[in-house]
Amino acid sequence: MNYHYLAIEGTIGAGKTSLSHKLAEEFNARVVLEEFSDNPFLPGFYSQPDKFAFQLELSFLAERYQQIGRELSNRDLFQQMVVSDYILQKSLIFARENLKGDTLQLYRTLYDLMIRQAPKPDLTVYLYQEPEKLKQNILKRGRPYEKDIPLNYLKRIQKRYMAFFRQQRKSVILILDTTDLDFVSDPKHYQIILGLLKENYPFGITRIKP
């Protein structure tokens, strides 16, 4: 593996945390996982998005920035790699969907200050799945506050990820269509992904459907 800082991304329900765990175990790497389960604004946002959107997005931004800075600044020089299940830029992707007007502008000001100092992944892997499959995955894992996420919301978030990636000409981004893969339960599917992650990719977007 030629990547020292690998970020696994995806829309809600894509399996990014599961894959991050498997890769960290595979390469004896440090795993950095998003700490969303303790966020007090998340259940309220799903039931009343207009009321809780700003608090939620601001708290996520602060938590992600602090965690990435803490984990990567303290990284052992002899540690082979770090695997994260998010990129800090996802904060802006979701904020553009959930915030509007002056609230979004205020958020963007704070975001811009933080992103300048944040380390950038050597490779970002986006796990693409059809929105209908994402919805099935969400219902299967059974988090009560997620069960009513609209399908259209998942579609909009996915489109925002794609629009963001198209602008990242100085980043290495691999978009993997995993709609037909079960890399959690099927070792053969996991090995397919593992093989792809051992390849070198150019700057910009590379799209692969295994």
Instruction: Give the residue numbers annotated as catalytic, written as ranges.
Output: 85
Token representation of residue 103:
């609230």
Q: What gap in Å lies between CA 44 and CA 56, rounded to an integer? A: 9
> Among 21, 27, 171, 16, which Cα is nearest to 85's?
16
Name the packing angle between helices 16-26 and 187-197 (round to 10°). Answer: 70
Are β-strands 30-32 and 82-84 bridged in parallel, bridged antiparallel, or unpaired? parallel
Q: What gap in Å lies between CA 11 and CA 128, rounded to an integer? A: 8
- Helix ranges (DSSP H) in the chain: 16-26, 42-47, 49-73, 90-98, 101-115, 131-141, 151-166, 187-197
Q: What gap in Å lies between CA 115 and CA 124, rounded to an integer? A: 16
Collapse the DSSP code of 124 into the 3-class scheme (helix H, G, I; strand E, B; otherwise coil) and give the result. strand
Which DSSP letter does residue 146 get?
G
Q: Containing H/E element for 86?
A: none
